[in-house]
C-alpha cells in the first residue's frame, strides 16, 4: 500500500511539472548551437536559453543581408526566454522551419511566431503546458511574482500573434493517470494536434515541405497523444 501511495505521489508530481518558468540552473550554459548556414538561414539547435538567444540576435544584427528564416530543433527550455525568442521572431517577420522537434517553449512561442511555419514530414510538435497549467495557475492566483509575470507576458504574446492561450494547455483534458504512469517509463509525454485543429487556435500559414506530415514514424519512442479540439471549448474571455 505504501508503494502504491508513493507511486501516486510521483504521478501527481509529474502531472504538475509540465512547464517551468526556468528549467535550467542559472549558472549553466546549455550547449545550444546557433549559426547561419550557407543558405543564409538562422539555425537554433538545442535548449532555449538566454545565452543562445543573445548569440542569435547578434548574428542577425551583424548580417549584411538579413536572414528571413529561422530553422529550429529544440525540446524547449526557459519559458521566459522562449517568449523572448518568439517575440523577436515575430517582430522581425521571420519564417520558422521546424527541423527534428519543437517541444515545450519552442512549440508554445517560437513556432506560433513564424510568419510562415514550415514542417517536414518528420517534424515533431509537442505541447505539454503553459502558465495556465494547474501548478503555475495556483501560483498565479496566489500572487506569486514569477507566475504573475509569466502569465502577463504570455497573454501579451498570445494577443500579439493572435493565438488562443489554451494552445499549450488544452491537451491536458485528455490525460489520465495511466498517461503519466507511462511517462515514468518512456522518454517523453505530451500532446499534439492535427493541422486543422491547430488552425482552431489561430496557427495558420503552415506549409508541409514534403506534402505530408507523419512524424510519429520517425520518433516512435515518444509518447505523444493526438488531441482532437472542439472549437466550442475555445470560446472564452481571455
What is the residue-level pLDDT of the chain in tens, covering all 238 positions? Answer: 433 333 333 333 333 334 445 433 343 456 899 999 999 999 999 999 999 999 999 999 999 999 999 999 999 999 999 999 999 999 999 999 999 999 999 999 999 999 999 999 999 999 988 988 888 889 988 889 999 999 999 999 999 999 999 999 998 876 655 455 455 445 557 899 999 999 999 999 999 999 999 998 887 766 788 899 988 888 754 4
- The domain spanning residue 202 has which CATH number? 3.90.226
Query: Is residue 82 included in any domain, yes or no?
Result: yes
Query: Is residue 95 included in any domain, yes or no?
Result: yes
Question: 115 lies in which domain range?
Answer: 32-234
Query: Is residue 24 included in any domain, yes or no?
Result: no
Query: Is residue 167 included in any domain, yes or no?
Result: yes
Which residue has cell 517536414? 120
How many domains are there within the chain?
A: 1
Contact 79, 151 (CB under 8 A): no
The backbone torsions φ and ψ at residue 207, rounded to the nearest 5 degrees and listed phi first, read: -115, 130
Q: What does the angle CA 146 – CA 76 – CA 198 come to, to the nearest 5 degrees?
A: 100
pTM (two decimals) = 0.83
Which residue has cell 519559458? 79
What are the Cα distances from residue 40, in Å, to 46, 52, 116, 158, 219? 19, 18, 17, 28, 28
Cα separation of 218 and 58, whole Å?
Answer: 34
Ramachandran sector of residue 205 (left: φ over 0; alpha: ψ -120 to 50; beta: rest): left
Amino acid at each position: 500500500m505504501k508503494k502504491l501511495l508513493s507511486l501516486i505521489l510521483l504521478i501527481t508530481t509529474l502531472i504538475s511539472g509540465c512547464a517551468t518558468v526556468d528549467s535550467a540552473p542559472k549558472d549553466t550554459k546549455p550547449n545550444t548551437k546557433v549559426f547561419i548556414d550557407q543558405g543564409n538561414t538562422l539555425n537554433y539547435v538545442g535548449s532555449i536559453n538566454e545565452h543562445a538567444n543573445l548569440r542569435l540576435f547578434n548574428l542577425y544584427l551583424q548580417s549584411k543581408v538579413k536572414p528571413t528564416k529561422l530553422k529550429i530543433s529544440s525540446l524547449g527550455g526557459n519559458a521566459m526566454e522562449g517568449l523572448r525568442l518568439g517575440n523577436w521572431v515575430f517582430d522581425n517577420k521571420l519564417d520558422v522551419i521546424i527541423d527534428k522537434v519543437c517541444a515545450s517553449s519552442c512549440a508554445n512561442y517560437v513556432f506560433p511566431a513564424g510568419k510562415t511555419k514550415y514542417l517536414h514530414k518528420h517534424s515533431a510538435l509537442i505541447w505539454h503546458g503553459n502558465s495556465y497549467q494547474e501548478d503555475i495557475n495556483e501560483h498565479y492566483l496566489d500572487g506569486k511574482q514569477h507566475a504573475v509575470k509569466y502569465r502577463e507576458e504570455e497573454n501579451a504574446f498570445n494577443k500579439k500573434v493572435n493565438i488562443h492561450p489554451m494552445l499549450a494547455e488544452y491537451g491536458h483534458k485528455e490525460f489520465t493517470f495511466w498517461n503519466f504512469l507511462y511517462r515514468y517509463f518512456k522518454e517523453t509525454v505530451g500532446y499534439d494536434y492535427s493541422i486543422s485543429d491547430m488552425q482552431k487556435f489561430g496557427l495558420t500559414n503552415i506549409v508541409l515541405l514534403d506534402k505530408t506530415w507523419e512524424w510519429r514514424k520517425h520518433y516512435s519512442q515518444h509518447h505523444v497523444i493526438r488531441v482532437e479540439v472542439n472549437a466550442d471549448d475555445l470560446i472564452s474571455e481571455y
